[in-house]
């Protein structure tokens, strides 16, 4: 979300077309509003503690551990020589 907002601001500074600049401003404003809604939801659900570092650390560690566990999952079979699996055709 934050990267998208940053990219909108960069695009606004690079464009010379007033109509495009206005459209980018509107999209950036909508993205900022959405970011605020997401932040509020995360705080309400207890997923984000922006003012209490000691409460946020365990949540971030758990998220990192979960990401590592997901990365270690065997999501794709070793043998993909089946229809619909985009295997290299046999020659």
Query: Rounded CA gap, 85 and 39, in Å?
Result: 38
Residue 27 located in a structural domain: yes
The pTM score is 0.68
What is the C-alpha to C-alpha distance for residues 14 and 9, in angstroms, rounded to an integer? 9
Residue 33 lies in domain: 2-51
- The answer, yes or no, to whether residue 74 has pLDDT greater than 90, is no
Query: What value does the mean pLDDT take over residues 55-76?
Result: 94
For residue 82, is it within any domain? no
Whole-number pLDDT of residue 33: 98
Within a domain: 9: yes
Segments in the chain forming alpha helices (H): 2-14, 18-45, 53-71
Distance of CA 49 to the CA centre of its chain: 19
Say if residues 50 and 43 touch (Cβ distance below 8 Å). Answer: yes
Structurally, how many domains does the chain consist of?
Answer: 1
- Whether residue 82 has pLDDT greater than 70: no
Reported as a single tens digit per residue, the pLDDT across 11-62 is: 999 999 999 999 999 999 999 999 999 999 999 999 999 999 999 999 999 9
Report the pLDDT value the prediction gives residue 86, as an integer from 0 to 100: 62
């Amino acid at each position: 979300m934050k990267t998208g907002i940053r990219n909108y601001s960069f695009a606004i500074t690079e464009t010379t077309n007033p109509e495009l600049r206005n459209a980018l401003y509107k999209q950036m404003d909508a993205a900022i509003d959405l970011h605020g809604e997401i932040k509020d939801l995360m705080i309400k659900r207890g997923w984000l503690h922006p003012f209490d570092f000691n409460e946020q650390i365990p949540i971030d560690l758990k998220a990192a551990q979960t990401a590592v566990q997901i990365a270690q999952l065997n999501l794709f079979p070793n043998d993909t020589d089946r229809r619909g699996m985009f295997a290299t055709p046999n020659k």
